[in-house]
Chain A
Amino acid sequence: MYVYMGHMRWSDIKPYEDWFWIKNRIDLVEDWVTSIDYQKKSINTKSGKSFSFDKLILALGSKPNKFGWPGQELKAVQGLYSKQDLESLEEISASTKQAVIVGGGLIGVELAEMLLSRGIKVTFLVREKKFWSNVLPMQEADLISRHIRKHHVDLRFETELAEIIDDGNGRAGAVITKSGEKIPCQLVGLTAGVSPNIDLVKESELETKNGILINTFFETNIADVYSIGDCAQFREPVAGRRALEQVWYTGRIMGETLAQTICGTRKQYNPGPWFNSAKFFDIEYQTYGNVNPTLSENEIEFYWEQAGGEKCIHFVWDKNTGIFKGINTFGIRMRHELFDQWLRKNALIDEVMMNLKAANFDPEFYTHHEQEIIEAFNRASGKNIQLKPKTWWRNLLNA
């Protein structure tokens, strides 16, 4: 994204300088694996090389979903996942004035922002009632939808792709929606989710379902073969988690955990409280704990939105016990460590609200909204919580 938009060069997005791998005795090989021989414990690559292994970790990632739409194999129809996708996007952009993006999730909004940065008009088809309202509660989905429109994206709700039409030269020329509308375009972005990229191992003795099946030690059905990240599917997910976890943070946590096993201390996947983040154009989003699109029965919520409609906070807690369950925050940064601690020790919503000042992570001199939030909270809940003065947040960690 940032390379395409000109914020960075390719070399800037590498997480380490190239010498890092050599220094740490890691052979970084750029090649395609074409087959794996589990008996001989070796893998073969496209360039004809073969490597033997004692242990194998499969972290194959995902690939963009395609749902069998007519025309999905045309030129200028693509997902956004790999470096190859980026290169082809770069090539197609030059001859593109209008684009249609299909599928309203994180990748779709990212693609929209990218294309706009090149002056390409974007029509964004979203199946849900509001942008990402399958994940976000309606209030937040609405706030983000408004923000996306503010950036002049033609955002269409409850609109699905029916087919992609050839422009006569084998390239996409328009899309037709399920309601029959024809939208001309020279580029179609398919961003309706991703699924595990397991073609390499599907027809082998490795057990797969949607992804590569693993236990909570990341072990597959074959000894010494592990799988982590987007392509892995837990046979039995850990409590409160999904079988497929296709986000960056869980991928990293899996990697950190498995590294311990590989180095001789067998460790089980045991992630802490859920957290995630994203950025929608100019609005940053962080979440800690669970805020589901609809409240479950014993949950209660408090939602606050800033007058300008560009910031909001959504708290959810247990109706009976008052235990804090989760927070969504848009346009206001919050401290991960504090929320992590509160979620782990089952802190009550009152404690969270009281310490909002310490939890704030916005840069210095930012406008603070805690007082406003707490007043609205007290009005809504009938409580009388007073904000604690801004203590140095670390004092709270062990309190």
Chain B
Amino acid sequence: MKLVKNIGLVLFLVGLTIFTSLVFTGDFKMTDEIMRSNLSESELLNLETRLTSEVVEKNYSTSLSFGNDVIRIYNETNQQFRDAQQWDKVMYTAPKEFASKLARASSAGWIPQHKSLLFFLTFGLGILGSLMFVLAELKLGGPAGIKNNGVYHSAATNRGWIGISAFVFLVSFYILLYYFPFALTNVIGVVDPVKHLFNPADFASQWFLYGFMYCTVMIVMGARMIIKYRHNNYQIVRTIVVVFFQVIFAFLLVEILPLFDLPARDLKNAWPLDYSFLFEWNVTELLDSGHFGKFLFVWGIVLSLVIIPVMVYFYGKRWYCSWVCGCGGLAETLGDPYRQLSNKKLWAWKLERWMIHGVLVFAIIMTIFTGYLTYNVIQNPTMESKEYLFGFSAYDVRELYGFLIGSIFAGVIGTGFYPIFGNRTWCRFGCPLAAYMGLVQRFKSRFRITTNGGQCISCGNCSTYCEQGIDVRAYAQKGQNIVRSSCVGCGVCAAVCPRGVLKLENGPEANRFGNEGPIVLGNNGFELNQ
């Protein structure tokens, strides 16, 4: 079994190495023909001369260098138009998307001809290897039970060199994904065979790659989670459900809906986490897409304003954060090995409250701006400068939000920093939906974590493994229940507690907070709660 595990590790590393090296290799050459068939008429008019003299027929060995040249030319050309105030000539495609399109078309040589083989050598080996690694634990890990031996001794999980490497890898990946997608051209091509399963005529985008990776990672790490907590049905059910929602709703449905000419939307993604819900392109597309589109629009509103608070009232925010949400799902699967790294200090809690509620306020303000814009687009099509409210442009506000919160915070920091700050950095410090649900959970909900009388021995396992950095012990050792806005109900505190002290449950709001006196149950010298 040890051998199986080690072979698995080797296979995984081989797959990962090939995957990574794809970014640094390749053959990119744009022929004149490729240029002509991929540029629009106006683009051709604007860029033909410079592209032909500087890029066409030139050999590039990475898509990054190719893309950088293209972007430079694109931006410089645009700048000339701006300087000359030729506003009608300025091009509005995002430069990185423009470069991605050309890079994909210009990819030549061995790699694009062997996509299926490469798919097997990267994803195939990676999945096979990691599954072997994970499944071997069934035998190696001994009888079912808490498996935290060596967590703080391992360089992978104690911010050692493996953790730091994982951190560098993840952050680099997110930076390329968000800001230099053309650098990933080869890698994106590798999942083309998968994309063809949905639509033989279409090619994968960076978001398809991301979605596909997200799903495979969640399935493999979900299997790991289930094996690790196989004595705990709460964890098993929860993990299956959250993986299900990711694969079916966030991935498959989004791929399948467009095949029926329906808008591709993730039905479980709720505002304000889905911050583009009220963007004018979203709303107009939905309203123009027949009954289903209108349904999606209404569904989005009902989900955020009715279903979410009502469900949080009955079950706590865990129903979303740990059972449905994609961000939460990744945190609970890929992120599980890092949950102990969240900061438990009081100052971190204070910072958390400022940050997460700050983001919520920002999200609301941003939504007001875009909502105003969208309203004008639909109701006052003739109005000029529809986007200006209080002197600010809705485009600017939402671009800022998308950059700071949508990509830097949620992606680069939220996931890239798993091995450093723990697995729920985004959920704890940044997610506006979590903030919103947290307010409901804290002030009007039937959910609490009940502390079992006086049984706590102050050992600290619960606090250590709380991914949200809640000092669970501080409550438990006083016999108090845990009622905290940030608790995502992952149930791990209850799982790791060696004395069976904690139970996540829903019940009447009365007595929700448990023991309020200084004396813990078991001491007759005092009357409880008096």
Interface residues of A (CB under 8 A from B): 2-3, 5-9, 12-17, 19, 117, 150-151, 248-249, 252-253, 256-257, 260, 267-273, 275, 277, 279, 281-282, 284, 286, 333-337, 340, 361-367, 392, 394
Contacts and interface: CB of A to CB of B under 8 A. Distances in A.
A340 B522 contact: yes
Contacts of A281: 143, 145
A361 B505 CA distance: 10
A2 B143 contact: no
Contacts of A275: 453-455, 522
Contacts of A271: 522-525
Given A364-B234, A365-B234, A253 B523 contact: yes
Q: Is the interface of B mostly helix, strand, loop or mixed?
A: loop
B458 A364 contact: no
Given A2-B461, A17-B346, A117 B523 contact: no
B494 interface: yes
B507 A5 contact: no
A117 B452 contact: no
Q: Is the interface of A mostly helix, strand, loop or mixed?
A: loop
Which of B142, B145, B150, B455 has the most chain A CB atoms closer than 10 A to its own CB? Answer: B455
Contacts of A117: 149-150
Interface string B67-97: 0000000000000000000000000000000
29 contacts: A2-B459, A2-B460, A5-B150, A6-B148, A6-B153, A7-B148, A8-B460, A8-B464, A15-B473, A17-B346, A117-B150, A249-B457, A256-B523, A260-B525, A272-B522, A272-B523, A273-B522, A275-B453, A284-B499, A286-B499, A340-B521, A340-B522, A363-B233, A363-B234, A364-B234, A364-B491, A366-B232, A366-B233, A394-B511
A256 B522 CA distance: 11
B148 A363 contact: no
B492 to A, nearest CB: 10
Contacts of B461: 2, 7-8
Interface in B502-530: 503-505, 507-508, 510-511, 518-526
Contact of B143 (A15, A150, A253, A340): A150
B143 A333 contact: no
A270 B461 CA distance: 30
Given A284-B500, A394-B507, A5 B149 contact: yes
Contact of B503 (A6, A17, A363): A363
A386 to B, nearest CB: 23
Interface residues of B, number: 60
B516 to A, nearest CB: 14
A109 to B, nearest CB: 12
A256 B149 CA distance: 34
A343 to B, nearest CB: 11
Contacts of B344: 12
Contact of A256 (B144, B153, B518): B518
Contacts of B196: none
A361 B452 contact: yes
A257 B455 CA distance: 17
Nearest to B496: A7
Given A275-B455, A363-B233, A392 B507 contact: yes
B420 to A, nearest CB: 16
A16 to B, nearest CB: 8
Contacts of B507: 392, 394
B231 interface: yes
B142 A151 contact: yes
A270 B523 contact: yes
Given A256-B523, A282-B144, A335-B453, A6 B346 contact: no
B498 interface: yes
The 7 lowest CB-CB distance pairs between A and B, nearest first, are A336-B453, A282-B145, A333-B500, A365-B233, A6-B153, A6-B150, A279-B498
Contact of B500 (A9, A272, A286): A286
Contacts of B450: 361
A243 B475 CA distance: 31
A336 B452 contact: yes
Contacts of A267: 525-526
A13 B524 CA distance: 28
Nearest to A15: B458
B143 A282 contact: yes
A40 to B, nearest CB: 32
Contacts of B524: 270-272
B463 interface: yes
Contacts of B233: 363-367
B152 interface: yes
Given A260-B525, A286-B455, A333-B503, A363 B491 contact: yes
A5 to B, nearest CB: 5
Nearest to A267: B525
A14 B453 CA distance: 21
Contact of B504 (A7, A253, A269, A364): A364
Contact of B499 (A17, A269, A277): A277
A367 to B, nearest CB: 7
Contacts of B522: 249, 253, 271-273, 275, 336, 340
Nearest to A16: B474
Given A337-B521, A363-B504, A282 B231 contact: yes
A277 B455 contact: yes
Contacts of A270: 523-525
Nearest to A247: B457
Contact of A363 (B458, B495, B498, B519): B495
A396 B493 CA distance: 26
Contacts of B504: 363-364
Given A7-B461, A248-B457, A286-B455, A365 B237 contact: yes
B143 A6 contact: no
Interface in B148-171: 148-154
A193 B500 CA distance: 25
B423 interface: no
B106 interface: no
B146 interface: yes
A130 B222 CA distance: 40
Contacts of B237: 365
Contacts of B521: 272, 336-337, 340
Contacts of B455: 275, 277, 286, 336
Nearest to A397: B511
A9 B464 CA distance: 9
A250 B165 CA distance: 47
B143 A363 contact: no
Contacts of B152: 3, 6-9
A279 B499 contact: yes
Contacts of A363: 232-234, 491, 494-495, 503-504
Contact of B151 (A7, A282, A340, A392): A7
Contacts of A248: 457
Contacts of B236: 365
B468 interface: no
B525 A257 contact: yes
Interface string B121-140: 00000000000000000000
Nearest to A150: B143
Given A6-B154, A8-B464, A333 B459 contact: no
A281 B141 CA distance: 13
B477 interface: yes
B7 to A, nearest CB: 21
A5 B498 contact: no
A183 to B, nearest CB: 23
A150 B143 CA distance: 8
A298 B389 CA distance: 83
A45 B336 CA distance: 46
Contact of A337 (B143, B453, B491): B453
